[in-house]
Chain A
């Protein structure tokens, strides 16, 4: 599923809303999560999961082709930890493929 399909599904569930509003809603949600992470905040969505930012220390790496040592600066990477409920649901035996 890609973002446009997600928007279409939500539009079907909410026939009283304009599709362009649903589009704005979905964009706002992911934008808000991104902005929080860019501030260094955590985003905790109980049952779904939590987004956080992890620091990766500066290190010396190698160019795999030439073997030359390269300095890699410290950086921050986004991290997602699946929530308990979703993790459990992923491993639930599924009732014979209903759509």
Chain B
């Protein structure tokens, strides 16, 4: 693994370089994009981004889990989890990118 971490800062910088907006406004737009995606998902909506992937919410039923430390049984309540399904384009891009650089 290359092991570097990209954060909001780099995404904002990329937006800043791409469009003629101030650094501040670029950062705000990155934030708005994440926020709008989040809001949609909270509403239960699926978010699809072509050639990237889709995010959707899955409803999980109640089940019995265990505290791994004590072995004690605890009920896991019904909950909503977010699932990301990468598109084929993204999967292919990752595999062609990494097979070149990694042994």
B64 interfacial by beta-carbon distance below 8 Å: no
Number of interface residues of A (CB under 8 A): 51
Number of interface residues of B (CB under 8 A): 54
Is the pair A10, B6 in contact by a Cβ cutoff of 8 Å? no
Query: For B11, what are the chain A residues with a Cβ–Cβ distance below 8 Å?
Result: 28-29, 32-33, 45
A62 interfacial by beta-carbon distance below 8 Å: no
Query: For B1, what are the chain A residues with a Cβ–Cβ distance below 8 Å?
Result: 40, 53
Query: Which of A3, A47, A78 interacts with B91 by CB under 8 Å?
Result: A78
Q: Contacts A10-B32, A34-B93 given; indicate if A41 touches B49 (C-beta within 8 A).
A: no
A residues lining the B interface (CB < 8 Å) = 1-3, 6, 9-10, 13-14, 17, 21-22, 24-26, 28-34, 36-49, 51, 53, 75-80, 82, 86-87, 89-92, 94
Residue pairs across A and B with Cβ atoms less than 8 A apart, 25 shown, are: A1-B40, A1-B46, A1-B47, A1-B48, A2-B49, A29-B14, A34-B94, A37-B94, A38-B98, A39-B2, A40-B3, A40-B97, A41-B5, A43-B6, A45-B34, A46-B7, A48-B34, A48-B37, A49-B84, A77-B91, A78-B84, A78-B86, A80-B86, A89-B42, A90-B57
B residues lining the A interface (CB < 8 Å) = 1-8, 10-11, 14-15, 18-19, 21, 26, 29-30, 32-34, 36-38, 40-42, 45-53, 55, 57, 79-82, 84, 86, 90-91, 93-98, 101-102
